[in-house]
Structure 1
């Protein structure tokens, strides 16, 4: 399967040397050949071992899905065994916008490689992000062609909103989930993303988990499972 070009987010290298992502995987629960891919992108300071735990509940609705949870691009300062997709030193919008533009090509290349590895079309792949991973999932999927099956984004933001009108190349279904008590990424960030996506005719749904901090609540997990079943089932 030849590499698939994606949009402007692929133009800048993420680092000065090639990066190959790796991390834990979970084979299909059915023990059959995979018919779909679910790729988890973890949050800042975490690692791939964190989100791969979601494979168990999601496999109940997607028994033939292969789940992958790569560690992010580089070690995260101050977080032993943790990684970051890009640095977050100032928490500014500019830093976030530049970070996803640099990390996006690495994630897109990983997606391309996994699709080729399993001989699956992009329409059989969903990106699932948490926090910083949601930023990357949205950034890559909205620029990836042919179009991916969807994006499930927990507790994250949409970066490069001001540039999105010029950069968007795909409109996959998006499901956003956020806790209403999130002290790290406030819930209003989800509604900012919602407005921007709707303005560009991206099919998007949202869900707020009540009394939930920067985490995935049981109801958010159920919403995510239903979304995955809808776009991949």
Structure 2
């Protein structure tokens, strides 16, 4: 079972929403948990958790990975999101049960590889999450021959916010319009923002957009 740092609701009341923060390749849950502190004024009754990815980083002695990411091609990404899906999906179920919340009171926030996981698993939840936020990520697609089965797997269509930097050299900015097109083709409402002068990271504009988005979808 996955685990990682948690923040209880700032209000001190029982949680009425759960935000799960999914870190990028080579980081761990501590990398994103502070986003909970940043958004807590907007979401005082939300609990936050940032699980460590299930695998140790394959190319370094520290850090975690949702899946191996050496070739960084479509095949590796597709195999990877499939392999990590069950662990993340089970963790989401366990956290919701721990807090006594329905699946509709869940939001997923991912960065880079975490965005790939947020979109892959979030769109396959039996109960649609309230929303998904993705920073600097990709909507991972299967080989063309598997597209029909892929479409059948998408049973949840929560609203999605995607934010990307126009100077991102790790995940090229073209991933943003491609993800928007892919998601909208499948009936998912998407908002997108390209941050000027931003590389592979999260800026204050993205944080503000995401905080307002989360506040809206949980309202």
TM over 0.5: yes
Is residue 151 of structure 2 the alignment partner of residue 170 of structure 1? Answer: no
Aligned to 2:210: 224
- 1:192 has 2:173 as partner: no
Tell me the distance in 2 between the aligned counterparts of 1:173 and 1:79.
Answer: 36
**Counterpart secondary structure, 1:153:** strand
In the other structure, the counterpart of 1:203 is: 189
1:30 aligns with 2:30: no
Q: TM-score, normalised by structure 1?
A: 0.89
| 1:60 aligned residue (14, 33, 41) | 41
Render the CA deviation track for 1:132-162: whole Å, top value 9, x for unaligned. Answer: 0000000001111111111000000011255
Q: How does 1:57-96 map to 2 (within 5 A)?
A: 57-96=38-77
For residues 147 and 225 of structure 1, the distance between their equivalents in structure 2, rounded to whole angstroms, comes to 19
Secondary structure of 1:33's aligned partner: coil
Matches within 5 A, 1:118-133: 118-133=99-114
- Equivalenced residues, count: 214
Counterpart Cα distance in 2 of 1:28 and 1:79:
35
**Helix, strand or coil for the counterpart of 1:91?**
coil
Flag the structure with more relative contact order, 1 or 2, with Cα contacts below 8 A and sequence separation at least 6. 1
Secondary structure at the aligned position of 1:135 is classed as helix
- Residue number in structure 2 paired with 1:3: none
Aligned to 1:5: none
- Within the candidate set 154, 161, 183, 2:135 is matched to 154
Match 1:114 to one of 95, 105, 119: 95
Cα displacement (A) at 1:166: 2.6
Q: Does the 8 A contact of 1:47 with 1:81 survive in 2?
A: no
Q: Distance in 2 between matches of 1:95 and 1:81?
A: 21
> What is the SS of the residue equivalent to 1:96?
helix
Q: Distance in 1 between matches of 2:106 and 2:154?
A: 18
Maintained 8 Å contact 1:149/1:172:
yes
- Structure 1 stretches (4+) deviating beyond 6 angstroms? none
User: Which secondary structure state, in structure 1, belongs to the residue aligned with residue 194 of structure 2?
Assistant: strand
SS in 2 for 1:197: helix
**Structure 1 unmatched runs, 5+:** 1-19
TM-score by length of 2: 0.95
Q: Give the CA deviation at 1:57.
A: 1.3
